[in-house]
Amino acid sequence: MGVLIVLLILVIILVIPNIKIVPQSKCYVIERLGSYYTTWHNGLHVKIPFIDRIASYVSLKENVKDFPPQPVITKDNVTMQIDTVVYYQITDPKLYTYGVDRPISAIENLTATTLRNIIGELELDQTLTSRDTINTKMRSILDEATNPWGIKVNRVEVKNILPPKDIQEAMEKQMRAERERREAILKAEGEKKSSILIAEGEKQSAILRAEAQKEAQIKIAEGEARSIQMIKDAKADQAFLTLRSFDALAKIADGNATKIIVPSDLQNLATLGTTLKEMFKEDKK
């Protein structure tokens, strides 16, 4: 009875702790007698006591590592601080465990070295405007370098680019000057368009006034022509026309005018006076 109890206790101590359940998206690297034996994926597993051991616990999820700013020098000798973010994933737990010592530290150093090499080929302006190019080059280089370590670099992002303070101040002044220049150009273009619109308005107004005057003169001429034609149609003789002229002179004479208008055709006017005189005499008889 006592032996059974002892055996039961030994089973509990030796077997139960060696029963392992590997969760989803994780892997256990197993060594047997100091050498790589197998990789456990998700599920129930049992290892042999004192013979097997778990060498490493590996997560298969995508990991994100934000590395601190690194000093880099551009092609035109400007020193700046650049920090990067690396998105990576472990694809081979065995290579990740045995490929390199402290793989995350290795990735950080490799990232810093690669970044210095890339920035060293670019000038300051290119560095500030070529983030996509820098990201693509770094991802390609890091992915190729980390492949023997069982790591795949999915994406690399340049997070911040911090030029020296004096460079930042110069860039701010340049941007301010550029904004002021654009504002002046827009203002000048607005004034130009306004002047053109005003000039076009005055031109159109002058054209309309000239056309109105022209139409008025045409209407007056047409009215005078119709009046003359009506007189001709009525067959008015020279005596009637002269009489009308005489009436006009009479009205002028009745006024306070200081000037006398004498018709050029005095002979006809005299003849008209004689004719009127004779008519008045006949009326008296």
pLDDT of residue 10: 77
CA distance 8 to 14: 10
Rounded distance, CA 271 to CA 277, Å?
10
Confidence grade of residue 245 (pLDDT, cut at 50, 70, 90): low
Under 8 Å between Cβ of 30 and 54 = yes
What does the alpha-carbon distance between residue 101 and residue 103 come to, in Å, rounded to a whole number? 6
Distance from C-alpha of 171 to C-alpha of 181, rounded to nearest angstrom: 15
Region for residue 102 given its phi and psi (left: phi exceeds 0; alpha: psi -120 to 50; beta: otherwise): left
Task: State how far the Cα of 187 lies from the Cα of 173, in Å rounded to an integer.
Answer: 21
Scanning 56-123, the segments in alpha helix (DSSP H) are 93-98, 103-119
pLDDT above 90 coverage of the chain, percent: 30
In contact, 263 and 249? CB cutoff 8 Å: yes
State percent of the chain over pLDDT 70: 78
Q: Please say if the pLDDT value at position 266 is more than 60.
A: no
Contacts of 9 (CB under 8 A, 6+ apart): none
pLDDT tens digit string along 158-216? 988 888 777 767 666 777 777 778 878 888 888 888 888 888 888 888 888 888 888 88
In the block, residue with structure tokens 């002046």: 184
Q: Residue 3: pLDDT band by 50, 70, 90 thresholds?
A: confident
Q: Give this prediction's pTM.
A: 0.57
